[in-house]
Amino acid sequence: MSSKIPYVKHNNGTQIQTIGLGTYTSLGGDCERATLHAIDVGYRHIDTAYFYENENEVGAAVQRKIAEGVIKREDIHITTKLWCHFHEPERVEYACRKTLQNFGLDYVDLYLMHWPYSYVYRGDQEMMPTDAKGEVELNDIDYLDTWRAMEKLVELGLTKSIGVSNFNSEQLARLLANCKIKPIHNQIECHPALNQKKLIALCKKNDIVVTAYCPLGRPNPAEKTPNYIYDAKVQAIGDKYKKSTAQVVLRYLIEIGTIPLPKSSNPKRIEENFKIFDFKLDAEDHAVLDSYNTGERLIPMTHAIKSKNYPFNIEF
């Protein structure tokens, strides 16, 4: 089944499936079950992070599927991320090795810098260190110094590739002007309310793949939010193709140039989110979905607004 899913090639020659399983907030065995099911369905791209505290569950699922002969290690792409309290260059290799220990694997496929800003280190598990006033303790480490330490991880074979997440256009330009190894990905919040077309175009120009987190805008059935999942107009597009509104939104994100990372631990949804490669949207459908673009973020990370590396002070 997975052979029919398109792959995209990176600027370093590696390749990745054009849909991935998101795992944020999947805990307590849910993440392991979701990953097992996703692999059975045909997913070969799993996205996690040190901050999610479920690398061990992803690793256990991957190892089980390797043991069962369902996949070989090289068939599956695992992305994880360096958290903000590990940005000091001398902590980067330690952080990556700790992550590999969590997975029980000897390399990851992609290691991302989760955010361009950094926190004070107060211990491995103190992921949001706060001061006496309850404010997050920011550090002003230059992300270029962190990046240079990440480049060494590739040389050491601890990760096949490196990339960034939540970098704006200026931060990307500065990184590209100063790096030895180009980032292969920029993972950003992206959905119809924040369609990121300008940042996607810039990434494309620089041969950087965009992965989309929160692609469905964290649906809330009780409140019928976000509107692009519950509106009659999107429902009508779904009816036209015999697809759900979620499938329509994921298809839209693929067609505007991203790899969506829908998070689910529901087996039916995991399957549904994967079935988006047998239809195409037309120009009218795109016009409807474009109309939801307000630029509003679900994840503004305002606690870090005082950091000089806070990414959302400019348009894109």
Asked if 227 and 292 count as a contact pair (C-beta separation under 8 A), the reply is: yes
Residue 291: count other Cβ atoms within 10 Å of its Cβ. 12
Cα distance between residue 310 and residue 168, in whole Å: 9
- Choosing from 43, 50, 52, 143, the catalytic residue is 52
- CB neighbours of 86 closer than 8 A, spacing ≥ 6? 50, 92, 94, 95, 121
- CB neighbours of 300 closer than 8 A, spacing ≥ 6? 312
Burial of 108 (0-12, 13-18, 19+ CB in 10 A): buried
Alpha helices in 157-196 (DSSP H): 169-178
Q: Is the dihedral of CA 15, 21, 25, 26 positive or negative?
A: negative
**Is 10 within any annotated ligand binding site?**
no
Question: Is 52 considered catalytic here?
Answer: yes
Active site residues: 52
Which residues are annotated binding-site positions for substrate? 114
